[in-house]
Each structure stands twice: as structure tokens, then as C-alpha cells.
Structure 1
Amino acid sequence: MCKSHFSKVTSLIFILAMMIFVSCKWKHHQEIDSIEIADDYIDALNASDYDKLVGLFVDSIRFNEMDYIRTFSREEYRSLFQWDSVFAPTYRILNVKKAGGELHLKVSKECERINFLHEKPFVTNEIMQIKDGGIYQIDVIEYVDFNDSLWVDKREKLVSWIEKNHPGLNGFIYDQTKEGAVKFRKAIAFYKNSRDFNNQQENN
């Protein structure tokens, strides 16, 4: 083999090696970036930082819960975000796994409303779709730890008691605005300070 041919082969091998190295580095960088996006999303929720949160989405806010499909413009999502923020929620990523352009997440959530109705955080399995360096869609696909019967029972007792004792707060359960959340918190506070609630606690 002549010297010039050997040099060309060596150069080609070097170029191929560099291409593989850069490709692996880029793939690893993408994986880190997508997990950072998920971390930033949770941080924005916990900090009630609306601007940071909507900035993580590529366009519309697509947030689907089981068969309930919801798509919001950024301004439309503001009201629901404010409602959730009033209850001072804490979100935690319990597990994360990357699969293609998706992140499979196990997420826990607790807040004043959940602690009252569920008595502990509830846990969901979610899929976060990442496209063009941002969040395209989030799907809640499963409730891992959610006591539906307890939630419904406590909600019905709260609503019935408020209708009887504080009718001015009626409708709070369906009002997903900031004002509705404030009424919800007042309803919980009134009920927890009532004799009916304290008697229930003693009987449990």
C-alpha cells in the first residue's frame, strides 16, 4: 500500500470516528435537554411561574387527562394555571424514562385541596412529548395512587355543608378561576372549623 493511499484511509477512519463521536455526544445532549425540560416544567409549577411554564411549550398548551382532551392558547391557560396556583401545589417527579421523543413520568402532586379531599398526595403516570426543543403535549395516562371513593365522599360532604351553611360560596367546586379557587379554600376552612367536621374526625 502506498503512503498516500494509507494517509487517505487513515483520514477517512478519523473522520468516521469523529462523526460517530459527535453523533453520540449530540444524542446524549438531547436526552439531557429533554429531562431538563421536564425538570423546568415541574419547577415552574411549584413556583407558580406562568411565563416560564408556557415558554416551555412549542405552541398551544396541550394537556390531556385520560379521555379528557384539552388544548389551550397561552392566554386561555392562564386562568386554569392561576386556579391551581391558589392551592399552593407541590409537584415531584418520582421516576422518568426516555422513549424516543417522549418522556414517561411518574408524578406526585399535593396541595391544600388534594390534602383535604384525598388526605395524601396522588400519583399519576404521564407522557410528555418533546418536539423542537419544547413540550408539545402532556398526557395523564393513569392514576397510580388515587382513592376515588374517598375523594367523592369528602367532596359531596363539603358541597352539601356549604349549600346549607354558606350558600354565598355555592358553585365553587366548578369555578376553575382564581376567584373560584379562593372560594374553594374558604369553603374548606369554614368546613374544617365546623362542629360537623370535628364530629366526623372523632368518629373515624
Structure 2
Amino acid sequence: MKNTFLILFLLYFLTGCKEQKLSHKETVSRYYNAFDSGDYNEIKATINDSVTMISGDYVIPYNHDSFYDFFKWDSIFKPSYKIVELDEKNNDIIVTIAQDNVRNEFLKNNPLVFKVKVSFTLEKISKLEELEYIDVNWEVWNQEKDSLVSWIKNNHHDLDGFVEDMTMKGSKDYLKAIELYASNKYNLQ
């Protein structure tokens, strides 16, 4: 009888220790914390098999493989993600993020602060829709980007097209372009 009680107690204990279902807020926090720490496996655990990112007129569908390519592109810029605010509205989460990275710093908008509406399917993230950017100076952003693109086109044609290349190679070329441009600017002073 003691053995039966012990076995039943252990079974109850083990089944009670299963991972608890995360709330939507906890899932979003886990997602951005994983981006911040560079842990793709943790990100993968929070996203659905298909994820759609919406930024303005751009609608980009991802599966796990293509999302990993996006993650690699982003990681080259050495990003830091901080959750500023997290609200639940109906079944969605509205999150405000402050993103620091090398690219944003060059474009003189660091941190880049923006709001995202996060939607879920089967308790996993299925859509991330950018809602608004907060205090972003797009005029300065575009001036810096255009100066960099123009200078690269005239001086390092082999890197031309880096802005549109959303691959790991594209982000490495972007960093190289920033370094070359900054070095040239420094040498002219």
C-alpha cells in the first residue's frame, strides 16, 4: 500500500510539473528577451509555423527557416531590445519596444522606439504589425542613409545594394559600408 501511495504521489507530482501555458504577455516578453539575448531556439518556441510581419505597405510571410534568416540579418547589427510597455487588447498584445543597434546609431535614431501589435494562433505568435514609430526623425534617418548609399555607390560599388539585401551577407555589407564611410569622413576632418 505504501508503494502504491508513493507511486501515485510521484505521478501526481510529475504531471503537475508540466510546463504551464504562458499568457500572451509572457510569450511576447519571452520573444523579445530571446531576441535581446540572441537565442533563436527560444524565439522559435514562441512563434507559430508561419509568422507574418507587417511594416507599412510591406507584408512579409515567414516560416521558421526564413524567419531564421531574418534573425541572422538582425543579429549582425548587435541589437538590444527593451520592452517599454506591454498592454493586452482583446486577444492581441500591444508592445512598445526600444531597439538599440549599430545601424540605428549610424542613422542617428538610437534607440528606435516603436509599437507593435502582436497576434496569436494556437497560443503562438503569428503576426507582428508595426503600428507606429515614436519620436523617430525620418528626415535625419533618410539623409544619413542616402549619404551612405550614394558614397558607397561612387566609392565601393562591390557593396552597392546592401540596403535592400535582407540576408546575413547584406547586413555584413551594411556594417562594412558604415565602417568605410565613417573612416572616410574621419580622414577628411
2:37 paired residue number: 47
Q: Which runs of 5+ in 1 are unaligned?
A: 1-28, 200-204
1:24 paired residue number: none
- For 2:155 and 2:42, the matched residues in 1 are separated by 40
- For 1:197 and 1:104, the matched residues in 2 are separated by 45
- For 2:130 and 2:185, the matched residues in 1 are separated by 38
- Pairwise mapping of residues 120-139 of structure 1 onto structure 2 (< 5 A)? 120-139=110-129
Q: Deviations over 1:136-183 (max 9, x none)?
A: 211111112211111110011111111222222111111111111111
Does residue 188 (structure 1) correspond to residue 178 (structure 2)? The answer is yes
If each structure's helix is expressed as a fraction of its own residues, which one has the higher value? 1
CA contact (8 A) 2:109 2:137 kept: no
2:140 paired residue number: 150
Q: 2:167 aligns with which of 177, 181, 192?
A: 177
1:7 paired residue number: none
- For 2:119 and 2:188, the matched residues in 1 are separated by 45
1:98 paired residue number: 88
- For 1:197 and 1:121, the matched residues in 2 are separated by 27
Q: Deviations over 1:91-150 (max 9, x none)?
A: 111111111211111111120001101342111111111333211211111112211111
CA contact (8 A) 1:79 1:178 kept: yes
If each structure's strand is expressed as a fraction of its own residues, which one has the higher value? 2
Report the structure number with the largest CA radius of gyration: 1
1:18 paired residue number: none
Does residue 34 (structure 1) correspond to residue 24 (structure 2)? The answer is yes
| TM-score, normalisation: structure 1 | 0.76
- For 2:32 and 2:188, the matched residues in 1 are separated by 35
Q: What is the count of residue pairs matched by the alignment? A: 170
Q: 1:63 aligns with which of 53, 56, 61?
A: 53
Paired letter, 1:120: N
CA contact (8 A) 2:27 2:46 kept: yes
Shift of 1:197: 7.6
Report SS of the residue matched to 1:123. Answer: strand
2:100 paired residue number: 110
| TM-score, normalisation: structure 2 | 0.82
Report SS of the residue matched to 1:88. Answer: coil
Paired letter, 2:64: R
- For 1:163 and 1:84, the matched residues in 2 are separated by 23
Q: Which runs of 5+ in 2 are unaligned?
A: 1-19
- For 1:70 and 1:168, the matched residues in 2 are separated by 27
2:16 paired residue number: none
- For 1:197 and 1:36, the matched residues in 2 are separated by 48
Percent identity among equivalent residues?
Answer: 26
CA contact (8 A) 1:54 1:61 kept: no
